[in-house]
Structure 1
């Protein structure tokens, strides 16, 4: 009887440990995500990123970040957050020619760069489809 109790106790402790660690690892994996989408519904930051993106970025980068004939997709090969911030703030040039203007002084975009990134990251990772996200 005693070995059975030890086995049951061990199983309960192992299950509890696995449950705690599983939750921890999910949180660590989610820590590098700027967005949160649950049951197809976007968090406030991601939804605001959608709104800000479609207020100005979509004119060049296409609806939902898919790109256009003159600006690249922002969801096919997403940049890391630091590079994204730098390009949006400082603009982008190619061979001395301005390709994308800087938005550092634009109050409609500069404070919301991370929100726009959250939206594009959710699109790139397939957490959000095309069109207006649910709130």
Structure 2
């Protein structure tokens, strides 16, 4: 087989693998959100909705904090700590956060909420309702 017949296939495969590796590399780097052209993926959008339905009352709009609950965008813990804190609650000095392990509007969506807060913490997503990527 001629090298000229094989070369276009190798180049096409290499380019396709490179593009796939980029998003896989982001996931491997611990990025749980995807933002393309200022629009967010379904997980991050759902995280925004869930956060504003249950968490913003204490942690403030867009994770910015309030007078009685910490800002989450300033010091977002790693995913495992975040999951545990949301499920089990937090008791630290006078600060008490209830656990949401039994809340059907929060517990199944902890990773989505994390994706939204991670995008905010990374500066990849501004304040306010994000636009959603079309599938």
SS in 2 for 1:132: coil
Alignment gaps of 5+ in structure 1: 1-11
Q: CA deviation at 1:36?
A: 0.6
| C-alpha distance in structure 1 between counterparts of 2:21 and 2:85, whole Å | 32
**CA gap 1:43/1:20 in 2 versus in 1, 3 angstroms:** closer
Q: CA deviation at 1:26?
A: 2.5
Q: CA deviation at 1:128?
A: 0.8
In the superposition, the TM-score normalised over structure 2's length comes to 0.80
| C-alpha distance in structure 1 between counterparts of 2:40 and 2:69, whole Å | 26
Q: Which residue, out of 22, 26, 38, partners 2:22?
A: 26
SS in 2 for 1:105: coil
SS in 2 for 1:129: coil
Give 4+ residue runs of structure 1 displaced > 3 Å after superposition: 18-25
Bigger radius of gyration among the two: 1
Question: Is 2:98 the counterpart of 1:119?
Answer: no
- In structure 2, what is the equivalent of residue 53 of structure 1? 51
Q: Which residue, out of 93, 97, 106, partners 1:109?
A: 106
Query: Counterparts in 2 of 1:1-135, with a 5 A limit?
Result: 23=19, 26-31=22-27, 32-95=30-93, 99-135=96-132
Aligned residues, how many?
Answer: 123
Alignment gaps of 5+ in structure 2: 1-6
In the superposition, the TM-score normalised over structure 1's length comes to 0.80
Aligned residues: CA RMSD: 2.2
| C-alpha distance in structure 2 between counterparts of 1:40 and 1:134, whole Å | 7
